[in-house]
Structure 1
Amino acid sequence: MSTKKKYLLGMDCGTTNIKAVILSEDGTTVAEASRPSTFISPGQNMQEQDANDWWRQSVEIFQSLAQQAGPEVVKNIQGISISSHTVSMLPVDKDGVPVRNAMTYQDSRSVEELQYIVDKVGFEKFVKIVGGQPSVAFLPCKILWFKKHEPELFARTAAFLQASSYINFKLTGVMSSDIDQATRTQCLNMSRLSWSRSIGDAIGIDLNRYMPRLYLVDEIIGKVTREAAQETGLVAGIPVIAGCSDAMASMFALGLSELGQAGESSGTTSLVFVGAKKKSRMDLPVITRPCAISGMPWVFDAPIQTSGAALKWFVDKFAAEEREYCEKNGLNIFDYLNERALQAPAGSNGLLFLPYLLGERAPLWNDYARGLFVGLDMNMSRDDLIRSIFEGTAFALRNVVETVRKSGGKCESLRICGGGAKSRTWAMIKASMLNCPVYLLDDSCGDVPVGDALLVGNRVGVFGSLAEGVEKTIKVKEVIEPNPQWAAVYDKMYAHYVKVYENLDEELKVMRRDVLDIQQTQLEEKQREEMNSRDTVA
């Protein structure tokens, strides 16, 4: 293999796996490796990970990559970028040694602390500062819980790190905070892009003391040290950039390289990216974050709660007839549903599906919304029902895109990766729903570490531009144009989709509260009956 070639290393410390690739300057993957992540649940509502495991698994991955690629490739790695799940609370001492396990974003033990902080700051002021609804998933309440319940460990704490910044520290000896993950902590003043004094005061700490220096996502924070090189099999002196969240890295893996290109990472849930020229207001349902793409300084990223999950729900709960047919004929159930959906007309003969089976994140941000079928009648066919599922999730996508367009987002085309990119029917519906072309990426594309590699490749000059790196690395399988007749139908039906939910919002909120009360009462009655039954038997 020629020593003249240049290479890049991208890694993602995900929730369930840590994965990494070595990417060649021609866009080919030279080596890849992964290791599973382990969760620790020390008590109710507690989710943790051991940062020492992050590093141990990273070392194994680096060693595997080096062995696969060989010394000539490793010598020519031009840069490293690492992303991670976020937000985590990892306290480390002055030497960078973890003083306890990291609390991950799933950890919800600090509900009381969250309410205290919101009351202290004031709800409206809190939202204006952090640019989002207060949630137990984020950092302020976790730090306060740690400070209250583990004061001796807190006294040893010098800094709070994210998963990627801890691995970066082990590689370089430099503690850092990347601006992308910082915007997701709810510790940052989003208007000033600096650590919030008000949030810090509510916690009772100076955030500037505990949060490492802020870096742009593609800013070089340091180089691989000799000690790290000896441990990992890498070469000392490789530049390491600050990196970003796995969400931001997935945007680069989609191949977005210029303003107007939007992206959807489509799986069980979806994550939507839409670029903007200007920073948004902070009181909007979806806000902008800094972006490292030239000509696209800001990006809206918006999560949708159920996309592929809605289709799987339909298969599990309602599609016994279709499952049986597929089993008899050796067909894939999802391929079959794609075919059946196309037998119904656009608009599913007036049947609307609102896919809020687990509540909704963007742009509604509530957990009480629930799924709805609207427009059922005696003439409804199975094909109408199936198509309405595809259309309902596409209406949810349009709701996000329309929301960010009103706030300055620019969406002229949509690139889709993940499991959702395998459905041509879904892509046809989305193209007409958004009235823009949809680019389906090859199955080999869209892996988060590739996005990391593209980010650092653009920074260190391996690629002349991000667009060049995307062209070499990200392969488009097909471009689907809107169907004008479908688009006209969806324009009419979308207005009803939005209005139906708006009219039911308050009722769904009250109903959800009452349902939870009823379920709790029924559970208690069942437990009493079981206890009485055991007493009778005894």
Structure 2
Amino acid sequence: APKLLWIKENLPNVFKKIETILFTKDYIAFKLCGEIATDYTMASRTMLFDIHKLKWSDYICETLGIPTSILPPVKGSWEVIGEVTGDASRLTGLPKGIPIITGGGDRPCEALGAGVIEEGEVNIGTGTGTVFEVPISEPRPDPHGLIDCCCHVVPNTWEYEIIINATGESLRWFRDNFGHEEVYRSKEEGVSPYELFNRMASKVPPGANGLFYYPYLWGARAPKFDPLAKAVFIGFTHAHKKPEFIRAIFEGVAFQYVETLQLIKRLGVHVKRIIMTGGEARSDVWNQIKADIIGMKIEVPKILYAAALGACILACIGIRAYKDFRLAIRNMVRIAKIYEPRPEVHTRYAKIYEIYQRVYTYISKCFKMLSEI
């Protein structure tokens, strides 16, 4: 909606010529099969869609002056919308007649690829940032307007998408600025520099010897929701070395999970099962730290980049290779590793987390002052 409004206000002649708005995946589908459509997950992220009635909102569109006629028909993410045409076949090499599925947004597809489709299950999709993907059985928008509520790729299901900024990015930032030695050594050993970071962090006790990290490299979304927040290392002395800083990053990211899970509980969801996907899930050390800190079991599937698998599952449902989503998940999603929280370590982390939170109340008062420099 904001982008369309910008075009309407700044490029009115262009806006008048718009015939149809399509998302990237939908434009590709259109070029392949000639059919115009989008799916519920993408429509529900436009701020023009009624997630209760599952249709474009006449009220919102009329208020903003956006004609619903330029918005595409909305279908289920699993539905077949057409077949590869002869022209598309000649251009791409794809056989003519292959079914084209509507598909879905990256995060709902990731949740599906992790097998997360029922309320009480959560997929933690990690990477540059982290998204908690939380299925719900009915649309329940956050009354405070902080958490996105959109459609899932499975029918009659919605999901909260809760974003934590700069999680994996914090480690990449540290590597690029302070990990030159590890990058060089990793080439000699034929491993990732992150594997060397794992080894270093594993030798540091919980609490990183009193060093805390707050991962707000570009402000804080969940759980603090403070755009002025800054990243902070606090507590280091001459005795702290690089391994402590790496351990502090691992722990600082994991500490965000605790308050995020509390936020999910306040939204009325009782979390019973946690799956984790994405790049951070390659680290056994980090996964164990996260399980110890939140005090819950974390399951990691064989396929970490689950969005692609989720899209594959949608295709399987669309061509009826499987009769329903649960059967497809049972046959296509495999859990590779399980990280159980260690009770004694969790107890220790609970005490450290209380201090971590109290320290934040003091340093957060500095953010506004820093923003004025």
What TM-score, normalized to structure 2? 0.85
Residue in structure 2 matched with residue 156 of structure 1 by the alignment: 17
Question: Of 133, 148, 166, which aligns to 2:27?
Answer: 166
User: Which one-letter code corresponds to 2:15 in the other structure?
Assistant: F
Question: Of 235, 243, 252, which aligns to 2:112?
Answer: 252
Task: Please give the per-residue CA displacement for 1:108-142, whole angstroms capped at 9, x wherever unaligned.
Answer: xxxxxxxxxxxxxxxxxxxxxxxxxxxxxxxx232
Residue in structure 2 matched with residue 478 of structure 1 by the alignment: 337
Question: Of 342, 352, 355, which aligns to 1:493?
Answer: 352
How far apart are residue 202 of structure 1 and its match? 5.1
Give structure 1 stretches of 5+ with no counterpart.
1-139, 516-538
CA contact (8 A) 2:116 2:135 kept: no
Question: What is the alpha-carbon distance in structure 1 between the residues aligned to residue 187 and residue 218 of structure 2?
Answer: 29
Residue in structure 1 matched with residue 41 of structure 2 by the alignment: 180
Task: Please give the per-residue CA displacement for 1:250-271, whole angstroms capped at 9, x wherever unaligned.
Answer: 2223333544332223222223
Question: What is the alpha-carbon distance in structure 1 between the residues aligned to residue 318 and residue 143 of structure 2?
Answer: 32
- Between stretches 177-186 and 141-150, larger displacement belongs to 141-150
CA contact (8 A) 1:271 1:303 kept: yes
CA contact (8 A) 2:51 2:151 kept: no
Task: Please give the per-residue CA displacement for 1:67-104, whole angstroms capped at 9, x wherever unaligned.
Answer: xxxxxxxxxxxxxxxxxxxxxxxxxxxxxxxxxxxxxx
Which secondary structure state, in structure 2, belongs to the residue aligned with residue 425 of structure 1? helix
Question: What is the alpha-carbon distance in structure 2 between the residues aligned to residue 323 and residue 269 of structure 1?
Answer: 22
Question: What are the equivalent positions in structure 2 for 1:67-146 lying under 5 Å apart?
Answer: 140-146=1-7
What is the root-mean-square deviation of aligned Cα atoms in Å? 3.1
- Between stretches 375-384 and 482-491, larger displacement belongs to 375-384
Question: What is the alpha-carbon distance in structure 1 between the residues aligned to residue 307 and residue 360 of structure 2?
Answer: 34
- Between stretches 446-455 and 254-263, larger displacement belongs to 254-263
Which secondary structure state, in structure 2, belongs to the residue aligned with residue 159 of structure 1? coil
Question: Of 194, 201, 210, which aligns to 2:70?
Answer: 210
Which secondary structure state, in structure 1, belongs to the residue aligned with residue 140 of structure 2? coil
Question: What is the alpha-carbon distance in structure 1 between the residues aligned to residue 123 and residue 117 of structure 2?
Answer: 11
Question: Of 304, 315, 321, which aligns to 2:175?
Answer: 315
Which secondary structure state, in structure 1, belongs to the residue aligned with residue 261 of structure 2? helix
Residue in structure 1 matched with residue 200 of structure 2 by the alignment: 340
How far apart are residue 416 of structure 1 and its match? 2.6
Question: Of 84, 87, 102, which aligns to 1:242?
Answer: 102
Distance 1:500 1:210, change over 3 A: farther
Question: Of 449, 461, 469, which aligns to 2:320?
Answer: 461
Question: What is the alpha-carbon distance in structure 2 between the residues aligned to residue 199 and residue 509 of structure 1?
Answer: 35
Question: What are the equivalent positions in structure 2 for 1:15-94 lying under 5 Å apart?
Answer: none
Answering whether residue 246 of structure 2 is matched by residue 402 of structure 1, we say no
Which secondary structure state, in structure 1, belongs to the residue aligned with residue 233 of structure 2? strand
Which secondary structure state, in structure 2, belongs to the residue aligned with residue 346 of structure 1? coil
Residue in structure 1 matched with residue 141 of structure 2 by the alignment: 281
User: Which one-letter code corresponds to 1:142 in the other structure?
Assistant: K
Residue in structure 2 matched with residue 439 of structure 1 by the alignment: 299
CA contact (8 A) 1:288 1:299 kept: yes
Which secondary structure state, in structure 1, belongs to the residue aligned with residue 152 of structure 2? strand
Distance 1:325 1:219, change over 3 A: closer
How far apart are residue 405 of structure 1 and its match? 2.6
Question: Of 127, 144, 147, which aligns to 2:8?
Answer: 147
Please state which structure has a larger fraction of its residues in strand: 1
Give structure 2 stretches of 5+ with no counterpart.
none
Distance 1:177 1:321, change over 3 A: closer
Question: What is the alpha-carbon distance in structure 2 between the residues aligned to residue 268 and residue 339 of structure 1?
Answer: 21
User: Which one-letter code corresponds to 2:333 in the other structure?
Assistant: I
CA contact (8 A) 1:338 1:423 kept: yes
Residue in structure 1 matched with residue 218 of structure 2 by the alignment: 358
User: Which one-letter code corresponds to 2:111 in the other structure?
Assistant: M
Task: Please give the per-residue CA displacement for 1:371-427, whole angstroms capped at 9, x wherever unaligned.
Answer: 122333565454433211100111123333321232133433332333212210001
Question: What is the alpha-carbon distance in structure 2 between the residues aligned to residue 496 and residue 302 of structure 1?
Answer: 24
Q: Give the number of equivalent residue pairs.
A: 372
Task: Please give the per-residue CA displacement for 1:220-262, whole angstroms capped at 9, x wherever unaligned.
Answer: 3344445545554445554433221122222223333544332
Question: What is the alpha-carbon distance in structure 2 between the residues aligned to residue 502 and residue 188 of structure 1?
Answer: 38
Which secondary structure state, in structure 2, belongs to the residue aligned with residue 415 of structure 1? strand
Residue in structure 2 matched with residue 221 of structure 1 by the alignment: 81
Distance 1:337 1:237, change over 3 A: closer
Question: What is the alpha-carbon distance in structure 2 between the residues aligned to residue 175 and residue 181 of structure 1?
Answer: 14
Question: What is the alpha-carbon distance in structure 2 between the residues aligned to residue 508 and residue 306 of structure 1?
Answer: 17
Question: What is the alpha-carbon distance in structure 2 between the residues aligned to residue 326 and residue 163 of structure 1?
Answer: 37
- Between stretches 471-480 and 329-338, larger displacement belongs to 329-338
User: Which one-letter code corresponds to 2:38 in the other structure?
Assistant: S
What TM-score, normalized to structure 1? 0.61
How far apart are residue 302 of structure 1 and its match? 2.2
Which secondary structure state, in structure 2, belongs to the residue aligned with residue 144 of structure 1? helix
- Between stretches 363-372 and 223-232, larger displacement belongs to 223-232
Distance 1:177 1:331, change over 3 A: closer
Which secondary structure state, in structure 1, belongs to the residue aligned with residue 296 of structure 2? coil
- Bigger radius of gyration: 1
CA contact (8 A) 1:257 1:470 kept: no
Question: Of 201, 218, 233, which aligns to 1:373?
Answer: 233
Question: What is the alpha-carbon distance in structure 1 between the residues aligned to residue 181 and residue 130 of structure 2?
Answer: 28
Question: What is the alpha-carbon distance in structure 1 between the residues aligned to residue 237 and residue 30 of structure 2?
Answer: 61
Answering whether residue 274 of structure 2 is matched by residue 414 of structure 1, we say yes
Distance 1:402 1:460, change over 3 A: farther
CA contact (8 A) 1:254 1:415 kept: yes
Distance 1:246 1:389, change over 3 A: same
CA contact (8 A) 1:143 1:203 kept: no
Question: What is the alpha-carbon distance in structure 2 between the residues aligned to residue 141 and residue 288 of structure 1?
Answer: 18
Answering whether residue 298 of structure 2 is matched by residue 452 of structure 1, we say no
